[in-house]
Each structure stands twice: as structure tokens, then as C-alpha cells.
């Protein structure tokens, strides 16, 4: 009954896109069985994606002349399972496709590509340089540019349809001019006022008090903070297969690990020595997705965060990136992905391939 009342309140207060819940069009069987290893054959873009010369200021002007709000620059790669999920599960929804086409032109960028791009701010660089500049660490990454060529919102990674709808509405209706995406999502989907259920426990989570200060004395291990919330389906999924994978468990032994309710008043001393609540810290970090995982080094500096859907393969490779201290010499995760995991080579196309639920020799390392 509580959820029904909450949903009715949201519909009254917000547009239809922000109000729809995750369960309305989310395929639980797909989500629970999602295989995020590289997909074969190569991903095919929808035919309504714009065929662009990558002169983005011209693309923006053409979109505005057509009565649209701007463009979406889509950073992807040819074998990325999360990119395939975006195309199938988000753009594959009829209403999302129609809403996107009405308000934006979508322009694909190959993050490993060498084609020349003129960016909205007039810089000329290759596709790969552009992706590196924008820190498109996790594909798909999407940048929404408004009619003036300004960045209205950037999403790194794959989000379920209800969250993706909210992001488009946030830009299309101009809410980005007035508030952060976090504040907008908080209004559209506030946390429950009454305790519904506990969060998922793990043996490796530290117990309170949460004294995480590393600003005065160097810690022995990196810190990994799980920002979660109650009644969180995506959090439940994270605590199933992704955290049960044996190699992931071994990698986690190299961290100090804390779980925080991002909407709670739980007191925390942050890695830089602040005494604040978990909610205040989440606000400072501008977190809008649960679960969000943030890694800090031994001195308390943020290394990397995962604030989108992450399954076994992506989570494992991010943990490797940290545990092996590759970030010290290669701070950009995308560069490490290309040179060390991806082998510096573009995967060749395949005419035949096993289905996602069958075993085969799918290449390793292109989908993180």
C-alpha cells in the first residue's frame, strides 16, 4: 500500500518519465542473468542515430533548427555489453525512442576511434582524445549538450529505463539550469520515511564508528565505500552474483570496506577529516545512484567511482585497477583498459558467435 501511495504522489509532483518506477518496464530475469563480458558480434547502432561528420557545433545547430533541445553524444565501443544493454533496454523502449528522437539527435563516438571531431567548444581532436578528455571511463557514456553547446548532463555507464527517462526529462525540461541531477532525482523519488528493510550485510563491512580519516596518517590499504539505500533493488542485485564471484571476493580482501546508507544521519569522519553525516557526505559527492562505489587511496584521495549498473566483469576489473595500483602510473581508467586489459587492439568482427547464455570464446576485456 505504501508503494502505491508513493507512486501516486510522484505522478502528481513530477512528469511521467521521472515518476515511473523501476518495476514498470524492468526485466528482472534479464537483470539477474546479465552477462557483462564482451558481446559478439559487433553492436549495431539504431538506424535513427545521426550519421554525423563529427562537426558537433554544426550538429547542435541542425538539431535546434529541427526544433530539438540539443544533442546526445554517445561514447561507446563495438563489443561492450553495457552499450548493447543501452540500445536494447533503454532505446529499445518505444516511448524512450520516441522521446529521444523528438528532443535530441544522438551522435555515436567510438572511444578508440581516430576520426577527427570538432567538439562543441571548438576543439579539434580524435574520438579517442575526446573520450579521454571527458573521462568516458565506463561505456556507454552519454553527454547531453543544450542548444548553446553547453554540457547539461553526463552519464557514465548503463542505467535502467526509469532512471534514463528521468535523465532525459531533467535535460529536456531545463531542470539542469536550476538544480543538480541528484536533487532532481531526490524530489522525483525520495527515500522512504519509514524503515522498510535493512540493507544487505556482508562480513567484510567495517563496523561503526566510521572513522575514515586518512588526511593525517597514511592508511595501510585503500578504502572502498558502498553508498546504498534501503528498499534498493539495484543494491540487492549487486550483493548477489557480482559480490559472490570468487575472484572479486579475493580482490576485496585488499580493501577497508564501509557500507553507508546515503540517506542516513549516520556520523562519519570522511577520508579528508570532515565530521558529517552519511547523507551530507553523499550530497557533497553529488551521488544520485544507489549503489555507488567509491574508492579512495591510502591518503584519502578519490581514485574512481562506479555510479551506474556494474556486474561481475566491470566490478572485477575496476578492483584490479586499484589493487594493482595501476592508477598511480595510469590515472585514467580508460587508458588502462585499452593498453592493459584490451591489449591495445580493436577486436575483430565475428560472423558467428555463441549466444549470451552459451559458453564460447568471447574475447576478454573490452566491456569494462
CATH number for the domain harbouring residue 157 = 3.40.30.10
Grid cell, residue 49, equals 542515430
Looking at the fold, whether 130 and 252 belong to one and the same domain comes out as no
pLDDT for res 7: 42
Range of the domain at 23: 2-188
In a domain, 65, yes or no: yes
| Most distant CA atoms of the chain, gap in Å | 57
Looking at the fold, whether 47 and 109 belong to one and the same domain comes out as yes
Sorting pLDDT into bands at 50, 70 and 90, what band is 336?
Answer: confident
Sorting pLDDT into bands at 50, 70 and 90, what band is 12?
Answer: very low
CA distance 135 to 129: 10
Q: What is the pLDDT of residues 149-179, one digit of tens each?
A: 999 999 999 999 999 999 999 999 999 999 9
Sorting pLDDT into bands at 50, 70 and 90, what band is 198?
Answer: confident
Looking at the fold, whether 286 and 162 belong to one and the same domain comes out as no
In a domain, 131, yes or no: yes
Looking at the fold, whether 33 and 91 belong to one and the same domain comes out as yes
Looking at the fold, whether 144 and 289 belong to one and the same domain comes out as no
Looking at the fold, whether 32 and 175 belong to one and the same domain comes out as yes
Q: What is the pLDDT of residues 43-76, one digit of tens each?
A: 999 999 999 999 999 999 999 999 999 999 999 9
Looking at the fold, whether 34 and 128 belong to one and the same domain comes out as yes
In a domain, 227, yes or no: yes
CA distance 30 to 33: 5
Looking at the fold, whether 135 and 70 belong to one and the same domain comes out as yes
In a domain, 196, yes or no: no
Q: What is the pLDDT of residues 79-106, one digit of tens each?
A: 899 999 999 999 999 999 999 999 999 9
Averaged pLDDT, 253-269: 97
pLDDT at 18 over 50: no
Averaged pLDDT, 261-280: 97
Last residue of a domain, one of 158, 188, 218: 188
CA distance 194 to 231: 11
Looking at the fold, whether 268 and 129 belong to one and the same domain comes out as no
pLDDT at 2 over 90: no
pLDDT for res 346: 46
Averaged pLDDT, 245-258: 96
Sorting pLDDT into bands at 50, 70 and 90, what band is 40?
Answer: confident
Looking at the fold, whether 246 and 136 belong to one and the same domain comes out as no
Looking at the fold, whether 217 and 304 belong to one and the same domain comes out as yes
pLDDT at 191 over 80: no
In a domain, 291, yes or no: yes
Mean pLDDT (the chain) is 85
Looking at the fold, whether 148 and 255 belong to one and the same domain comes out as no
SS (H, E, C) the chain: CHHHHHHHHHHHHCCHHHHCCHHHCCCHHHHHCCCCCCCCCCCCCCCCCCCCCCEHHHHHHHHHHCCCCEEEEEEECCCCHHHHHHHHHHCCCHHHHHHHHHHEEEEEEECCCCCEEECCCCCEEEHHHHHHHCCCCCCCEEEEECCCCCEEEEEECCCCHHHHHHHHHHHHCCHHHCCCHHHHHHHHCCCCCCCCCCCCCCCCECCCCEECCCCCCCCCCCEEEEEECCCCHHHHHHCCHHHHCHHHHHHHCCCEEEEEECCCCCEEECCCCCEEEHHHHHHHCCCCCCCEEEEECCCCCEEEEECCCCCHHHHHHHHHHHHCCHHHHCCCHHHHHHHHHCCCCCCCCCCCCCCCCCCCCCCCCCCC
Amino acid at each position: 500500500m505504501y508503494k502505491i501511495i508513493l507512486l501516486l504522489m510522484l505522478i502528481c509532483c513530477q512528469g511521467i518519465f521521472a515518476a515511473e518506477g523501476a518495476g514498470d518496464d524492468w526485466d528482472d530475469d534479464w537483470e539477474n542473468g546479465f552477462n557483462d563480458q564482451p558481446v559478439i558480434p559487433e553492436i549495431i547502432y539504431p538506424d535513427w542515430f545521426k550519421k554525423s561528420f563529427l562537426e558537433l557545433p554544426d550538429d547542435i545547430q541542425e538539431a535546434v533548427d529541427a526544433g530539438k533541445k540539443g544533442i546526445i553524444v554517445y561514447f561507446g565501443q563495438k563489443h561492450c555489453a553495457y552499450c548493447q544493454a543501452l540500445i536494447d533496454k533503454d532505446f529499445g523502449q518505444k516511448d524512450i525512442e520516441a522521446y529521444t528522437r523528438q528532443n535530441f539527435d544522438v551522435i555515436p563516438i567510438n572511444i578508440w576511434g581516430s576520426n577527427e571531431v570538432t567538439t562543441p567548444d571548438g576543439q579539434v581532436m580524435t574520438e579517442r582524445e575526446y573520450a579521454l578528455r571527458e573521462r568516458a571511463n565506463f561505456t556507454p557514456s552519454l553527454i547531453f549538450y543544450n542548444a548553446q553547446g553547453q554540457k547539461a548532463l553526463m552519464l557514465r555507464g548503463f542505467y535502467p529505463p526509469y532512471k534514463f527517462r528521468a535523465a532525459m526529462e531533467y535535460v529536456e525540461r531545463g531542470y539542469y539550469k536550476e538544480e543538480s541531477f541528484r536533487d532532481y532525482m531526490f524530489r522525483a523519488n525520495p527515500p522512504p520515511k519509514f524503515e522498510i528493510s535493512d540493507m544487505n550485510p556482508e562480513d567484510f563491512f567495517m563496523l561503526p564508528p566510521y572513522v575514515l580519516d586518512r588526511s593525517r596518517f597514511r592508511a595501510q590499504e585503500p578504502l572502498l565505500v558502498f553508498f546504498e539505500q534501503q528498499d534498493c533493488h539495484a543494491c540487492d542485485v549487486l550483493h548477489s552474483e557480482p559480490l559472490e564471484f570468487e575472484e572479486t571476493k579475493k580482490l576485496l580482501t585488499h580493501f577497508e570496506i564501509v557500507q553507508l546508507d546515503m540517506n542516513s544521519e549516520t556520523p562519519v569522519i570522511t577520508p579528508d577529516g570532515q565530521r558529517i553525516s552519511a547523507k551530507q557526505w553523499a550530497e557533497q559527492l553529488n551521488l544520485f545512484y544507489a549503489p555507488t562505489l567509491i574508492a579512495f587511496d591510502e591518503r584519502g584521495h578519490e581514485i574512481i567511482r562506479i555510479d551506474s549498473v556494474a556486474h561481475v566483469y566491470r566490478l572485477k576489473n575496476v578492483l584490479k585497477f586499484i589493487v594493482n595500483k595501476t592508477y598511480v602510473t595510469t590515472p585514467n581508467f580508460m587508458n588502462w583498459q585499452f593498453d592493459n586489459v584490451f591489449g591495445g587492439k580493436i577486436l575483430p568482427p565475428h560472423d558467428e558467435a555463441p549466444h549470451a547464455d552459451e559458453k564460447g570464446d568471447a574475447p576478454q576485456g573490452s566491456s569494462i
